[in-house]
Amino acid sequence: MNDTTAEQPAPRKLIIAIDGPAGAGKSTIASRLARKLGYVNLESGAMYRALALKAIERDVSFDDEASLVKLAEDSRIQLEPTVGGNRTLLDGRDVSARIRERDVTEAASRVSVHPAVRAWMVVHQRELGGGGGIVMEGRDIGTKVFPDADLKIFLDADPVVREQRRLQQQQAKGEVEASVAAELRERDRRDRTRSVSPLVAAPDAVVIDSTAMSEDDVLARVEDLAQKKLR
Ligand code: DC
């Protein structure tokens, strides 16, 4: 019998890393790309945000590294991909909306500077994505979490454009804050200058500057790169 289907190798399941600063369009591109490829989209930032929320609720200082790690070890942080987007569960509770609020955003950037917190996160992020078939976005996915990722994208954009995009997102949600630009700049500064795993493009990342590109153009570029890896 000539069963050719048995000889077909299973399609490779890539690990795709998308890193970059806030407002560059990572989340949108990562989720659209994942949908196109039938992959799972994992937002690593949501894990830092969930821990930050727990620190707020338990009144743990954002500067107390040891207590933050203990808090993480005592927590169940789950990323649940759903058709309508990702859900984040903290100890079984759906915190997806709460972790996008301003106080948690600021706190996430502060808890993420600690090396021991990052080490805990990296272990869990590798467990989540190690099997492949994922698009994971964050700040250190291509440099630290999956340094051997099949495809690494560093998505950047001019700071003024990123601030405008954030403002538009907030306006759409009806919650405009005059300080959005200043907060984004400060978060950027912290993410890029922390001593451990600062936000930088991996040497083998494809850098895409989305300043003058539409979302569809960026997606087409990234999808093309992914398809080449799959061939
Ligand atoms: O992507 P985000 O805005 O949800 O991330 C929230 C914060 O978490 C961000 O300010 C920096 C931190 N973060 C990180 O340090 N490393 C990651 N891989 C993802 C997020």
Which CATH number fits the domain that encloses residue 107? Answer: 3.40.50.300
Count of structural domains, the chain: 1
* Residue nearest to ligand 1 atom 1, measured at CA: 45
Q: pLDDT tens digit string along 119-141?
A: 999 999 999 998 899 999 999 99
- For residue 62, being part of any structural domain is answered with yes
Closest CA to 143 of 131, 154, 155, 132: 154
51 lines ligand 1 (CB under 6 A): no
pLDDT at 170 over 90: no
Among 27, 29, 41, 44, say which to mutate for ligand 1: greatest number of ligand atoms within 8 Å of CB. 44
Distance CA 67, CA 82 (A): 32
- For residue 4, being part of any structural domain is answered with no
Which residue range(s) make up the domain with 207? Answer: 18-226
- For residue 174, being part of any structural domain is answered with yes
- For residue 10, being part of any structural domain is answered with no
- For residue 7, being part of any structural domain is answered with no
- For residue 12, being part of any structural domain is answered with no
pLDDT score, position 70: 98
pLDDT at 203 over 60: yes
Distance CA 22, CA 91 (A): 26
110 lines ligand 1 (CB under 6 A): no
Q: pLDDT tens digit string along 66-83?
A: 999 999 999 999 999 876
187 lines ligand 1 (CB under 6 A): yes
- For residue 231, being part of any structural domain is answered with no
- For residue 207, being part of any structural domain is answered with yes
pLDDT tier, 86 (very low <50, low <70, confident <90, very high otherwise): confident
Residues 6 or more apart whose Cβ sits within 8 Å of residue 116: 65, 66, 68, 69
